[in-house]
Amino acid sequence: MDNSIEIENLTKIYSGRVTAVDNVSLKIGRGMIYGLLGQNGAGKSTLIKILTGVLKSTSGTARIAGNDLNKDSLKIRRITGVVPQDLTTDGDLSGRENLKLVAELYDIPKKEAEERIEVLLKMVDLYDVRNRHASAYSGGMRKRLELVCGLVNTPEVLFLDEPTLGLDVTTRENLWSYIRSIQKEFKITIILTTHYLDEVDSLADELSIIDHGKIIISGTSEELKKSLNGDIITLKLKNDDEINKIGEFKNATEIKLMENKEIRMKVSNSDEILPVLMKYLSDNSISPESINIRKPSLDEVFIEYTGRNINAEQENKDYAKFMRAR
């Protein structure tokens, strides 16, 4: 498959101090939905801003649909659509007026714009409320409007920066199906950033985990899960003595001490190892407060490669950001 995006050694340092994007190289195939997964402050928005020409990189290059970011920025603006993380639609205008405004920015002839706007409104089921003020839309409706604002110029590549941030689960799933149908209908490449694991698992053909501005690992969700090479057992222990004893357990391929006296153990096959582990615990008088057995999941992948749980403290931050965005 040919590539829609080729990023080479892209770096962004803000005010000479904060390295937000750190030597990122990445290839994204044409026509796929690609997920960039990372926590708050990982550098996702900065990367999107560079790729859409809003920000200049400190160093490095990228090609988007064959166009050089540093040379053909005007062309790139024409062939890309972007739905930024914060709401950009005007609440005092109707859904239809918002789309017309975007069409004017791109100098799309009036008649053509009207036809296209009608198709887009119907596509995300906003046609019946097209004349209602955007401020009167529900959170999900407003996000759908934002989504099609990014499609007015019929882009080849669409960037979605946290498209479902702060929405409830049902509304998020609903939005995913619109994103899928957009990809199918227009056969475009979609790059989406998120810190929702279920979002990349459900939507993305391939993904990269980004942490502290660096790409940590890339692949399909299946490939990343397979790369864990086994199941995960976590044990919550009570004291250092128990921790030291568990460190001697020979049947684990890896044993790590996490925060709060939690042990994270990798085993080739939890069904076989569990009875052995239970005997070891009993023989050594270790009585964990809890034992958890998990098959490979994206949660586990994230912990494996970043050392942290992606959901830690995330929900409060999401809510605060969502309120700000409104």
Ligand X SMILES: Nc1ncnc2c1ncn2[C@@H]1O[C@H](COP(=O)(O)OP(=O)(O)OP(=O)(O)O)[C@@H](O)[C@H]1O
Shortest distance, position 275 Cβ to Mg ion, whole Å: 46
Within its chain, how far is the Cα of 245 from the centroid?
Answer: 39
Q: Residue from 45, 89, 208, 234 that binds Mg ion (CB under 5 A)?
A: 45
Return the SS3 of 302. Answer: helix
Structure tokens belonging to residue 188: 């475009």
Return the SS3 of 24. Answer: strand
In angstroms, rounded to a whole number, what is the distance separating the alpha carbons of residues 167 and 93? 22
> Which residues, listed in sequence order, are joined to residue 14 by a DSSP beta bridge?
18
Residue pair 249/242 in contact by the 8 Å Cβ criterion: no
Name every residue whose Cβ is closer than 8 Å to that of residue 312 and which is 6 or more positions away in sequence: none
Name which of Mg ion, ligand X, none residue 63 binds, using a CB cut-off of 5 to 8 Å depending on partner kind: none
Angle at 323 between CA 319 and CA 326, to 5 degrees: 140
Question: What x-and-dash track marks residues 79-118 binding Mg ion by CB under 5 A?
Answer: ------x---------------------------------
Shortest distance, position 40 Cβ to ligand X, whole Å: 4
Name which of Mg ion, ligand X, none residue 268 binds, using a CB cut-off of 5 to 8 Å depending on partner kind: none
Shortest distance, position 280 Cβ to ligand X, whole Å: 41
Name every residue whose Cβ is closer than 8 Å to that of residue 74 and which is 6 or more positions away in sequence: none
Shortest distance, position 257 Cβ to ligand X, whole Å: 27
Name which of Mg ion, ligand X, none residue 220 binds, using a CB cut-off of 5 to 8 Å depending on partner kind: none
Ranges of beta strands (E only) in 268-304 are 290-294
Shortest distance, position 135 Cβ to ligand X, whole Å: 24
In angstroms, rounded to a whole number, what is the distance separating the alpha carbons of residues 322 and 326? 6
Report the site for ligand X in 169-228 (rule: CB under 6 A).
195
Name which of ligand X, Mg ion, none residue 281 binds, using a CB cut-off of 5 to 8 Å depending on partner kind: none
Structure tokens belonging to residue 247: 């460190």
DSSP state, residue 134: G
Dihedral Cα 183, 157, 88, 123, nearest 10 deg:
-30
Minimum CB distance to ligand X smaller for 24 or for 147: 24
Does 164 sit near ligand X (CB under 6 A)? no
Name which of Mg ion, ligand X, none residue 219 binds, using a CB cut-off of 5 to 8 Å depending on partner kind: none
Q: Residue from 5, 7, 32, 46 that binds ligand X (CB under 6 A)?
A: 46
Task: Find the part of the chain contacting ligand X (CB under 6 A) among 36-44, 226-234, 244-252, 299-307.
Answer: 36-44
Q: Residue from 1, 15, 111, 269 that binds ligand X (CB under 6 A)?
A: 15
Name which of ligand X, Mg ion, none residue 287 binds, using a CB cut-off of 5 to 8 Å depending on partner kind: none
Q: Residue from 3, 11, 73, 85 that binds ligand X (CB under 6 A)?
A: 85
